Structures are given as C-alpha cells and as structure tokens.
C-alpha cells in the first residue's frame, strides 16, 4: 500500500500483492454469478436508495468485515481471538438493556412505563448506549489481551474462555431474557439506508480508523514485527506485551460495533444467535486476505475482501437455489479451493503460467 514506486510495474509484483488473490477470488465468484444468474447485478433505485444482490452481499458482510478488521491485528501478532462472536452477544445485551431495562425487573417511574413499547422511547440516550456498549466490548478484548500478553496463556485457549463464558455473561446481563428493541433510531444502525446501507458507512469508518491507527503510527510496524519475531522485537525495545494488549482490545472494540449492527438488524438481544459462528468467518476472512496465522505482515483491505468473498459465496449459493442446510458443506469446498490458491506451490504454478519466461 505504501511501497515507494521504485521498481517497474510487473506481473510478479501484482501476483505477490496480498490484495491479488482475494480480489481474484471475488472476481471469479461474481463473474460466475453474472453468467449464471440473470439480474444478479441489477440494482434498483427506490427513494434514492440502491438495492440489489450486490448491495446485499456487502450489507450482509458488514458484521464479518468489522470483525475481520480487529481480527487482522490479532492474527498479525501471531494470535487469534475466538471470542468475538460471544463479545458481539455481550454488546447486544448491554445495548438492549440500556434502551429497554424494564424486562429485567428494573422499576421505572410510572410515567415512563407507558412509553416502553413506543418506537421513540429509550431509557438511555443512544449516544450513551453506544459508548457504554463499546467500552464493555473493549474491556472484553482487554481481558483477552491480559491473558495472552501478561499471563502468557496461548491465544486460542485464552480466548476460548470468553468464547464459552461470553454467551453466559450476555444472558446474565439480561437476566436470561431475550430483550426486544423497539427504539426506532437504533434500528437505523443495521437497517438504515443513505443511498447505500448505513452499516457500510460504519465499516468504512472503522476501516479508516484502523488504517490510520496502524499505518499512520508505528503500531502497524510493531504488530508486524512482533508477529514475525517477537524475541527480536523485544530486544529492539518494542513493548510486545502492550502491542498485543492493544490488538486484542481493538479486536473487542470491533466486535462491539459488530454486535450493535447485528442486534440492530434483528431488533433483539439474542444471546444465542448473535454472532454465532462468526468468529470463524472472521478468521477465515483474514486468512483469505493473506495474513498468515503465524503472524507478521497484514493487509486490512485484503481482509475486507476476504469477508466479501465469504459472503459472496453464501449469497450466490442462495441465488443458485442451494438449500440452507447444504450451504455449510459447499462453503467448505470453496474454502479448500481458496486455501489451495495460497499454497506456495500453486502460486508458483500460477506465476509460471501467467508470466512468460524471461519476464
């Protein structure tokens, strides 16, 4: 992204870019859709807003894209965060109870009780809901970070704790109840539309924050350095613990935002279903984006493409009429195919074919 344009434009350079393969995969899927499914790319304009399959892919991918941004940093340090799905559920519960606390037995003044199902009513103002939710989510990430960086528990085990406990915590917060969210402005987060779905603006905004945080400060370099060789990094004076703490905290923060979007989409705090299985999609998105699970170099944009690839597969399968129960299996086949593209041998083969000899 930031390479000094010194050497010339070459095929090898393109194929070695982290963006190349996610982009290629996405393009292939979309081209198949274009040929096989009529109107796949048709976009309708209603009330000045855009609708269509392609828009749907992006909108549905937004939660995984959000998770993938935080996950990229964690994986780049050489770790992994399995708890993001559970953190989404916690975030959803916190948000829901702040807007609609009555269900858990909190006494409201009688003059407020009658407003409780009013789409314009919220107990706490929206900004407060968002801020508190994101703080809670960030604390969840911080917890993971402490376990990994300071107590030196292996990342997979450390985050597994919150993955398992998180959904329980989410239920404890709401006293085991699924809280319905009536407040209309909240629904805008996941369902709103300003020409494009509002959630996409959130993704773009979080992407920008992440990019600035990592590429306009030294943090990106430190993450890549720690992920590549943590001993050398430590010897060079990098506080690798703090770098990891930041990565996990930020990952929690992103999961919090994803939780807001997801709960806004279904208008409830559903501790069991919100974010279920999404941690794996997020990890997959990062891997498709070319970041090694062992850590090191990362590309945020490539991870976003990775998330889009996953969603494009799902949406396309539905469009092809694949029944929902077969979806996971077919997705697996695609994933194998994509991961094959990443093996050095296959890449070398592609390079051999695509680049004429002596290039």
Partner 1 sequence: MPDMDGEGLLVSMRGINKTFPGVQALINVDFDLRYGEIHALMGGNGAGKSTLIKVLTGVEHPDGGHITLMGKEVHVRSPKHAQALGISTVYQEINLCPNLTVAENILIGREPMRFGSIDWKKLNAQARETLVRVLGMEIDVTKVLGSYSVAIQQMVAIVRALEIEGAKVLILDEPTSSLSIRETEQLFEVMRKLKSEGVGIIFITHFIDQVYQISDRVTIIRNGLLVGTYATAALPRMELITKMIGKTITVLDEMSKAKAQSAARIGKEPVLEARDFGQPGQVEPLDLEVFAGEVLGLAGLVGSGRTETAALLFGLETPESGSLTVEGKPVNRFSPQESIKRGLALSPEDRKAAGIVDELTVRENIILALQAGQGWFRYLNLPKQYEIAEKYMRLLDISTPSADQLVKNLSGGNQQKVILARWLATNPRVLILDEPTRGIDVGAKAEIQKLVLALAEEGKACVFISSELEEVMRTSHRIAVMSNRRKVAEFGADVDEQTVMQAMAGE
What is the binding site for partner 1 (CB under 8 A)? 2-4, 6-7, 12, 216-219, 221-222, 224-225, 228-229, 231-239, 296-297
Which is closer to partner 1, CB of 26 or CB of 238?
238
Which one, of 272, 297, 339, 300, lies nearest residue 67 by Cα? 300
State which residue, 46 or 216, has the beta carbon closest to partner 1: 216
Query: For residue 52, what are the β-bridge partners?
Result: 43
Shortest gap between Cβ of 217 and partner 1 (angstroms)?
A: 5
- Lookup: tokens for 131: 């801020």
- Dist CA 141 CA 256 (whole Å): 10
CB 159 within 8 A of CB 80: yes
Smallest separation (angstroms) from partner 1 to the CB of 247: 12
The rounded distance, in Å, linking the Cα atoms of 86 and 170 is 8
CA distances from 181 to 91, 139, 257, 264, 272 (A): 14, 24, 17, 8, 16
Give whole-number Cα distances, 85 to 57, 166, 247, 280, 329, in Å. 20, 9, 17, 9, 21
CB-CB contact of 89 with 170 (8 Å): yes
Q: Which residues pair with 43 in a beta bridge?
A: 52
Compare residues 46 and 357 and give the one whose CB is closer to partner 1.
357
Residue 68 CB contacts under 8 Å (≥ 6 apart), including other chains: 282, 285, 286, 289, 303, 304, 306, 307
Supply the minimum distance, in Å, between the C-beta of residue 156 and partner 1: 18
CB of 79 to partner 1, least distance (A): 16
Question: CB of residue 175 vs partner 1: minimum separation in angstroms?
Answer: 41
Identify which of residues 220 and 275 has a Cβ nearer to partner 1 in the complex: 220
d(CA 27, CA 133): 36
- Minimum CB distance to partner 1, residue 292 (Å): 9
CB nearer to partner 1: pick between 241 and 331: 241
Name the phi and psi angles at 52, rounded to 5: 160, 175
**Given the complex with partner 1, which of 219 and 251 has the nearer CB atom?**
219
Choose between 6 and 152: whose C-beta lies nearer to partner 1. 6
Closest CA to 260 of 251, 269, 249: 269
Nearest approach, Cβ of 218 to partner 1 (angstroms)?
Answer: 5
Return the number of the residue (124 or 239) whose C-beta is nearest partner 1: 239
Q: Per 3-state DSSP, what percentage of the chain is helix, strand, and coil (rounded to 5)?
A: 70, 5, 25
As measured in angstroms, the least distance from the Cβ of 294 to partner 1 is 10
As measured in angstroms, the least distance from the Cβ of 215 to partner 1 is 9
Q: Cα separation of 348 and 341, whole Å?
A: 10
For residue 235, the minimal CB distance to partner 1 (Å) is 5
**CB-wise, 85 or 227, nearer to partner 1?**
227
* CB nearer partner 1, residue 33 or residue 240: 240
Q: How far apart are CA 37 and CA 20, in angstroms?
A: 25
Q: Angle 278-288/84-99 helices, nearest 10 degrees?
A: 130
């Amino acid at each position: 992204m930031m390479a000094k344009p010194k050497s010339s434009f070459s095929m090898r350079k393109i194929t070695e870019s982290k963006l190349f393969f996610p982009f290629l995969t996405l393009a292939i899927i979309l081209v198949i859709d274009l040929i096989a499914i009529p109107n796949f790319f048709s976009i309708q304009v209603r009330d000045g807003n855009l609708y269509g399959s392609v828009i749907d892919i992006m909108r549905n991918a937004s939660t995984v894209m959000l998770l993938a941004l935080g996950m990229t940093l964690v994986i780049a340090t050489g770790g992994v965060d399995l708890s993001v799905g559970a953190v989404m559920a916690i975030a959803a519960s916190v948000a829901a109870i702040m807007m609609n606390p009555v269900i858990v037995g909190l006494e409201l003044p009688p003059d407020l009780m009658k407003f409780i199902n009013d789409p314009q009513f919220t107990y706490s103002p929206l900004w407060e809901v968002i801020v508190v939710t994101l703080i809670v989510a960030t604390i969840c990430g911080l917890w993971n970070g402490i376990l990994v960086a300071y107590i030196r528990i292996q990342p997979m085990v450390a985050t597994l704790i919150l993955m398992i406990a998180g959904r329980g915590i989410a239920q404890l917060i709401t006293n085991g109840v699924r809280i319905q969210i009536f407040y209309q402005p909240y629904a805008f987060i996941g369902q709103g539309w300003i020409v494009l779905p509002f959630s996409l603006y959130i993704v773009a905004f979080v992407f920008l924050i992440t990019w600035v945080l990592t590429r306009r400060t030294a943090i990106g370099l430190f993450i890549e350095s720690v992920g590549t060789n943590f001993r050398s990094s430590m010897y060079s004076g990098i506080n690798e613990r703090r770098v990891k703490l930041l990565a996990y905290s930020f990952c929690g923060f992103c999961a919090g935002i994803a939780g807001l979007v997801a709960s806004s989409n279904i208008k409830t705090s559903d501790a069991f279903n919100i974010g279920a299985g999404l941690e794996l999609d997020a990890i997959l998105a990062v891997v498709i984006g070319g970041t090694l699970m062992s850590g090191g170099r990362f590309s945020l944009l490539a991870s976003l493409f990775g998330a889009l690839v996953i969603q494009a597969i799902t949406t396309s399968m539905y469009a092809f009429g694949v029944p929902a129960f077969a979806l996971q299996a077919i997705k697996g086949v695609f994933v194998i195919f994509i991961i094959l593209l990443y093996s050095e041998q296959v890449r070398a083969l592609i390079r051999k074919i695509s680049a004429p000899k002596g290039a």
